[in-house]
Amino acid sequence: MTADLSAGTASAAAGPLVVRLRNWVGDVLLGLPMLQRLADAGYDLHLVGKGWARDLLAGHGWPVHGLPATFGERVRLLRRLRDETGATAAARRAAPARSRPPIDALCLPYSFSSALEFRLAGLRALGHAHEGRSLLLARALPLERGRHELAVYWQVGDALLGRAAPLPQRLGLALSTAQRAAADELKQAHGIAPGYVVICPFAGGTFEKLDKTWPDFAAFVRDELAALAREQGRQVLICPGPGEEAMARRDFAGALCLEGVKLGTYAALLADAALMISNDTGPGHLAAAVDTPLLSVLGPTDPDQWRAWGPSVQWLGGRGTWPTRAEVLAAVRARLAQA
């Protein structure tokens, strides 16, 4: 790793940098500390990601361009950003004499197609070696399996800056004034009092083809959590995403259902929650990103690689074992006693 860093483009090349984000909320949040580190080092970030990424990262002030649907459109967008930002020209001017050609982009997805898009757009991208795409990248880093995904992203910052740094303790998602105001309006409109608990019983995708949804989630909320909420005078909130509304109404009728909440508003709502209980899914990472106490209920997920990151995080289960309802209830009681 030391030799790899010494061959880096060095922090002297700071300037415009075009960054392709990953396609999942959790991945984007785990890469956030690396992005903030590069911004602090002087890089002018121009991000490309899913439509929700603009609202999610609004508090950081970086421009976020929506990811087009087709391959050709994505190449054209990257080419336009190359020309408008002057990323390639700026990187070449800042590069030390006789150094390797400069980096002007980061390709955070692991796909072959994303690397090809950067190559065809004329951008020299740094990314991880995967799926035979090393020849398409200006610089390919070894993808070390088994490391936490935050450390994998952090390695990109190490390589670009030419120096290693300790892993960050927290994700540090910044909230905008507008996002906080929207959350306050939502709480006022629905009579939401302090001390509320947020649940996220949904889980996008799978882990090694296994469902990441805790089988006992609905029963736990209906019985144990409902009784505890009545006992302590707390409200239970659920914020379903697109396509999750029917499940929320059907299986979690006892919770206050807030539909159509944008990610930034969701983050601001979580920032004031006493606790979030979540599967291994994006909103769990969102709670961790704003330092909200999080109880992460894991089953097939390997926590060493994918657990939510931060000092407010506690997880139960994982590596193929689900926790019992009694274990989750005991953890919820203990966390709320600290709130």
Each residue of 156-175: pLDDT tens digit?
Answer: 999 999 999 999 999 999 99
Q: What are phi and psi of 96, to 5 degrees?
A: -65, 150
77 — pLDDT class (breaks 50, 70, 90) = very high
What pLDDT is stored for residue 10 in this prediction? 44
Is the pLDDT at 5 greater than 50, yes or no? no
| Average pLDDT of the residues in 238-262 | 96
> Quick one: average pLDDT of 38-66?
97
β-sheet bridge partners, residue 19: 47, 106
pLDDT of res. 90: 57
- With a pLDDT cut of 90, the percent of the chain lying above it is 85
Task: Confirm if 300 and 212 have CB atoms less than 8 A apart.
Answer: yes
100 has a pLDDT exceeding 80? no
- pLDDT recorded at residue 300: 94
Instruction: Give the length of the chain.
Output: 339
Q: Encode 251-271: b = buried (16+ Cβ within 10 Å), e = exposed.
A: bbeebeebeebbbbbbbbbbb
Mean pLDDT calculated for residue range 180-201: 97
- Residue 11 pLDDT > 60: no
Q: Is the pLDDT of residue 51 over 60?
A: yes
Query: Where do we find the tokens 């966390």?
Result: 335
Long-range CB contact pairs, 74-78, < 8 A, 24+: 74/48, 74/117, 75/117, 75/120, 75/121, 76/121, 77/48, 78/18, 78/20, 78/48, 78/105, 78/117, 78/118, 78/121, 78/123
Q: What average pLDDT does the chain have?
A: 92
User: Where residue 2 falls among pLDDT bands split at 50, 70, 90?
Assistant: very low
CB-CB contact of 310 with 291 (8 Å): yes
Residues 6+ apart with CB under 8 A from 235: 192, 193, 195, 196, 197, 229, 256
Confirm whether pTM is higher than 0.85: yes
Which of 143-147, 237-241, 252-256, 284-288 shows the lowest per-residue confidence on average (mean pLDDT)?
143-147
pLDDT at 7: 42
What's the whole-number mean pLDDT along residues 6-15?
52
Segment 101-136, tens digit of pLDDT = 689 999 999 999 999 999 999 999 999 998 899 999
Angle at the Cα of 266 (from 60 to 224), degrees rounded to 5?
140
Span 302-329, pLDDT tens digits: 999 999 999 999 999 999 999 999 999 9
**Whether the predicted pLDDT of 260 surpasses 50:** yes
Query: Which residue, 294, 316, 238, is CA-closest to 29?
Result: 294
Question: What pLDDT is attached to residue 339?
Answer: 81
> Could you give the domains of the chain?
2-161 (3.40.50.2000), 177-338 (3.40.50.2000)
